[in-house]
Amino acid sequence: MTLIESHVSGSEAGRTDRTTAIREITVFLTTVAALTTVSTVVGVREGVDVDAIEDATPLGAAAMYSQAFFPFLAAVLTQLVVHRRLRGPGWGFRRTAWRRLAGAWALSVACVMTPTLVLWATGLVEYDGDGAATVVPLGLTVFVLPYVILAIGEGIGWRGLLVTRLAAVAGPRTVVLVAGLAWAGFHVPLMIWLGGTPAGVPVAYTVAVFTVGITAFGAILGSMHLRWGIWPGVVAHATLNAAMYAVVDPLSVATDASGWLLSETGVAQVVVVVVAAVLWLRRWPLPSSSAVRGEAGRDVSRG
């Protein structure tokens, strides 16, 4: 093969890879949007309030809980439609050093507990210490495990497919913004129509703060996934949720300020997450598109 023929062949392969990646992104996002729309309509018709999910009808509860699996289902469908196989390149199932997992756990604990401790100490959110000696250690360890199952599905969809494909065709800023906005958009119907906004807080504020926070946190998870595979991001995501729902929620008493400041829809935690994301990406920026394509190829060879 001549040098010119080799260059032409490489250019054609590059265009094919780009076209394939864009097709995967399109199929994935379309599928997630369709599934989310259906489950939201069912939830609204069943009168679901996600803050009182235990009172929902069986159909309404099923519609809400099933949303956790939509990114995984969309990723699988995308692979079947585009590649005619189940497993896709970039899903990231490979061995990860324990220090990466420990670091991911510690990062999420810090992102949740640092602002929460400040809010408790200042009295902006009332602290209820009953059972704290049990709640804190269990919430940050054992109770992380159920969230790991849910985080694997989201890790495959949002990071294993969407982030890796975006990173193969676009620059880091585009990857962060598009992936973050898509992930936020997936949760927005819960806040607008299904009671996911704290009492007394405008929906617009909740959506805006949540979008900033989840985009920043998603940037950290994307960096983890592209560098070290799926597991650090899964641990970080699961730990964040466990810290919020199994530790902070049961130990906090609502005040007028808590809805504006506390948890993933509160500005205090979001500020900490944004700072963490800036520092993280300075140390571990998103890899280049060529590196991502190379890693995807190695994932295929592993499969």
What distance in Å separates the CA atoms of residue 42 and residue 38, rounded to the nearest whole number?
Answer: 6
Looking at residue 48, what is its pLDDT?
A: 97
DSSP designation for 51: G
pLDDT in tens, 47-96: 999 999 999 999 999 999 999 999 999 999 999 999 988 766 678 899 99
Q: Which pTM was predicted?
A: 0.90
Assign 7 a pLDDT band (cuts: 50, 70, 90). Answer: very low
According to DSSP, the residues that pair with 127 across neighbouring strands are 252
Is residue 183 pLDDT above 50, yes or no? yes
Looking at residue 108, what is its pLDDT?
A: 98
What distance in Å separates the CA atoms of residue 259 and residue 246, rounded to the nearest whole number?
Answer: 17
Looking at residue 14, what is its pLDDT?
A: 54
Assign 271 a pLDDT band (cuts: 50, 70, 90). Answer: very high
What distance in Å separates the CA atoms of residue 231 and residue 93, rounded to the nearest whole number?
Answer: 7
What distance in Å separates the CA atoms of residue 87 and residue 299, rounded to the nearest whole number?
Answer: 10
Mean of the pLDDT values across residues 203-209? Answer: 97
Is residue 262 pLDDT above 70, yes or no? yes
Over the chain, what is the mean pLDDT?
A: 90
pLDDT in tens, 94-109: 999 999 999 999 999 9
For the packed helices 230-242 and 144-154, what is the interaxial angle rounded to 10 degrees? 130
Is residue 297 pLDDT above 70, yes or no? no
- Residues near 210 by beta carbon (within 8 Å), at least 6 away in sequence: 184, 187, 188, 191, 264, 265, 270
Domain that holds residue 291: 3-302
pLDDT in tens, 150-164: 999 999 999 999 999
Count of Cβ atoms closer than 10 Å to residue 15 Cβ: 10
DSSP designation for 170: S
What distance in Å separates the CA atoms of residue 284 and residue 184, rounded to the nearest whole number?
Answer: 23
Which helix (H) or strand (E) covers residue 192, if one does? helix 172-193
- Give the whole-number percent of the chain exceeding pLDDT 70: 88
Is residue 190 pLDDT above 70, yes or no? yes
> Number of structural domains, the chain?
1
Mean of the pLDDT values across residues 261-285? Answer: 97
What distance in Å separates the CA atoms of residue 174 and residue 186, rounded to the nearest whole number?
Answer: 18
What distance in Å separates the CA atoms of residue 107 and residue 103, rounded to the nearest whole number?
Answer: 6
